[in-house]
Amino acid sequence: MHATTSKTPNKSKASFKRLAANQSVWFCADACLKLRPGGTECKACRDACPVQAVRVDAGVVELAPACTGCGQCAAVCPSGALLAEGFDTLLQPLPESEAVPLLRIECSRVPHKLAGKARQLPCLGGISFSALIGLAARNSSAVALVDRGWCATCPSGGGSEPINALVDSVRATLTDIGLPDECSPFVYSLPTPQEQSLPMDVTADNTPLPRRAFFGALLKRTAEAAIAARSPDVARLAVKTTRGALLASPLIHHTRKRMASNLAAIAALTGKPLSAKFFPDISVSEHCLLHGVCAAVCPSGALAIARSGTSAGLHFDPESCLACGLCIRHCPTGALSMSPFGNATALHSRDGKQLNSFIQKDCQMCGKSYVNHGDGDTCPACLGNRNMAQSLFGMSLAESEPTAANLEL
C-alpha cells in the first residue's frame, strides 16, 4: 500500500489516510514537503525510522509491514503530514482530580502495575519537540520521561535511547525563554529488568490499543485545518502568479502557528519577551521584481503578496515558516536569502514583517493591476503577448514580401 499525490493538492481541508492497511501511521499528502508541487528533498521520516520501514520516492510515500508504530517518523515530520496512533492523549490536560506535581510518561511496554498513573505511549521516541513544548505551555506539572533501559534492545529504539537529545534541545529552548529548570521536561532513569517488559503488540493492560480517542483527535485536526483554510488569515495564502496558482497547506500553517502560540504562552508565563531567534528569518534584495513565485510555492503561506491601495509587496510571517528553502530555490531573480534562526538580539513580532513595497498600476491592455518597474503602462503578461505577436506577424510579413532576388527571377 502506498500514498500518492496529484499535481493539484486538496484545497479545502487536510485529508489523512492510512499509509498501509492495518498500520497505525496516517498521512496527509497535501502537507508533505516531498510530494507538494515544487517540493523539497525532505526525507526526515525515512531517516528517523529505526526499522527502515518508510520509503520516500518521487510522488510516493510507502510504509512496509516492518513498521512498529513507534511514531518516530511523525515526531520529526516538519510539516505535520504524519500522525501515529497512540500519541493523542499526550497533550490532554489532566483533570483536577488527577492533578499531580509530576507527570510521568512511560512506554506502553511497561506493565500497568509498574506504570501506575503515568501516561503511556507506544514509544517515547515518538514524542516530538513541539509536543514537549506544548506540555510545558499547557500543564502546571513537571514532565518526566521514564527510561527503563529497554530502548537499546527494542527494535523501535534503534539501538539507542531516542529521547535524550530531544529533551536536551527542549530544555535549552525553555531555558532561553526563561522557564526554570525544575519546570522543564527531563529524562528519569529507572533501570528495570528486561523480562518485565510486555510484547510490543499490546498495551500496558494487555488490551488492544484504544483507537476511539485517536480518531477523535484525527477528526479534530482535520476540522481545524478546514477551518483554517476558510479563515481570513489563510485566505491570503492563495497567490496567483504567471505560473498559475497554488495554495498553501492549512495543516502546515496550523501546525506552525500552534508551535508559535505555545512558545508565546511560555514567554507570557515567564514575563520574558520572546526572541526572534526562535523563528526563521528571510530578507529580500533590490533584485526582487515581485513575480510572486516565492509566495506561490511556499507550503505554509509564510510568504504572501500584501496589497494596500496602490502598493504591493512581500509580507513574511516567521511563525509559519518551515525554513524549507523552496522560496529561494524558485525565485527567478535570486533575490531571497534565509536564516533558519532570526536575530537573537531582536524581539519577535507576531504580526510578521513587510519585506518590500512597490507601486501598482492598471494595465492599459487588460485592466488588471500590476507592479510597474519602469515607465510603461502594460503589464508583463500583456507585454509578452504583444511582443510575441509582433515577432510572429513580423516574420510572416517579412517572408511574404518580395525580395530583389525574387524579382530578378
Instruction: Give the per-residue pLDDT at 91.
Output: 76
At 191, the amino acid letter reads: P
Determine the pLDDT at residue 159. Answer: 55
Q: Are residues 246 and 339 in the same domain?
A: yes
Please give, one letter per residue, the 3-state secondary structure of 294-338. Answer: HHHHCCCCCEEEEEECCEEEEEECHHHCCCCCHHHHHCCCCCEEE
Residue 352 sits in the same domain as residue 367: no
What domain range includes position 42? 1-85
pLDDT of 238 strictly over 60: no
In a domain, 181, yes or no: no
Quote the mean pLDDT of the chain: 80
- Structural domain includes residue 186: no
- pLDDT category of residue 348 using cuts at 50, 70 and 90: very high
Q: Both 303 and 375 in a single domain?
A: no
Tell me how long the chain is.
Answer: 409
Percent of the chain with pLDDT over 70: 77
Q: What distance in Å separates the CA atoms of residue 101 and residue 308, rounded to the nearest whole number?
A: 51
Q: Are residues 392 and 280 in the same domain?
A: no
Contact, 190 vs 220, CB < 8 A? Answer: no
Q: Is the residue at 382 inside a domain? A: yes
Q: At what angle do helices 164-177 and 129-138 cross, to 10 degrees?
A: 50
- 13 in the same domain as 38: yes
The domain total for the chain is: 3
**Tens digit of each residue's pLDDT (9 = 90 or more) over 192-209:** 999 999 987 543 333 344
Residue 22 has what pLDDT? 82
CATH of residue 61: 3.30.70.20
Residue 403 lies in a domain: no
Alpha-carbon distance values, 201 to 23, 80, 244, 251, 370 (Å): 12, 25, 48, 30, 60
Residue 210 lies in a domain: no
Q: Tell whether 258 and 347 lie within a shared domain.
A: yes
Q: Is 101 left (phi over 0), alpha (psi -120 to 50) or beta?
A: alpha
> Do residues 283 and 302 both lie within one domain?
yes
Average pLDDT (143-170) is 84
In this predicted structure, the answer to whether residue 134 has a pLDDT above a threshold of 70 is yes
Given a contact cutoff of 8 angstroms between Cβ atoms, the answer to whether 295 and 289 are in contact is: no
What pLDDT score does 394 carry? 62
My answer on whether 303 and 391 are in the same domain is no
pLDDT at 391: 77
Which of 41, 60, 85 terminates a domain? The answer is 85
Q: Are strands 119-121 and 102-107 parallel, antiparallel or unpaired?
A: parallel
Query: So what's the pLDDT on residue 117?
Result: 87
Instruction: Give the domain-ending residue among 64, 85, 106.
Output: 85
Segment among 174-183, 217-226, 336-345 with least mean pLDDT: 217-226
CB 319 within 8 A of CB 342: no
Judge whether 98 lies within some domain.
no
Q: Are 382 and 317 part of one and the same domain?
A: no
Model pTM above 0.85: no
The three three-digit cell numbers of residue 345, written as one number: 538580539
Q: Write out pLDDT tens, residues 276-326.
A: 999 999 999 999 989 899 999 999 999 999 988 888 999 999 999 999 999
Is 63 among the domain residues? yes
Neighbours of 155 (CB within 10 A): 13
Res 38 pLDDT > 60: yes
